[in-house]
Amino acid sequence: MKLVDYHPLVSVCNAQVIPQMDNWDVIALSADEIVLIMRYIGFTDELILKLGTDLRNALTSSGAAQIRIGKKVEAIFAVHNNYVQVSSYQRGSFIFDCKTDKIH
């Protein structure tokens, strides 16, 4: 199920990336890597366009972030070495390997 399917209007209007407390590790992901991770979670193209840059900036500056739609946390991201650990409402938990661009 796509996020817009169960958040028809709220998903785009009230979606936001919130940087978290500073993490020891930060990483600068490419646009393609951000899109890959967000598509795997199940975000629509519209939400990826709206939130992708903010997510990249949060991981580059603080190393951790969460995406909220309204009051609901849809995904949490944390950088550790060359990995991005992700916990999402739609997909559960997984790890993105930044060296290989693979999701585990």
State the total domains in the chain.
1
Give the domain extent around 13: 3-103
CA distance 47 to 102: 22
What is the separation of C-alpha 24 from the centre of its chain, rounded to a whole number of angstroms?
A: 18
pTM here is 0.84
Tell me how far apart the alpha carbons of residues 103 and 39 are, in angstroms, rounded to a whole number. Answer: 12
Residue 19: per-residue pLDDT = 82
Q: Residues 54-97: pLDDT tens digits?
A: 999 999 999 999 999 888 899 999 999 999 999 998 889 999 99
36, 52, 33, 22: which is closest to 91 by C-alpha? 36
Name the band, by pLDDT with cuts 50, 70 and 90, for residue 14: confident
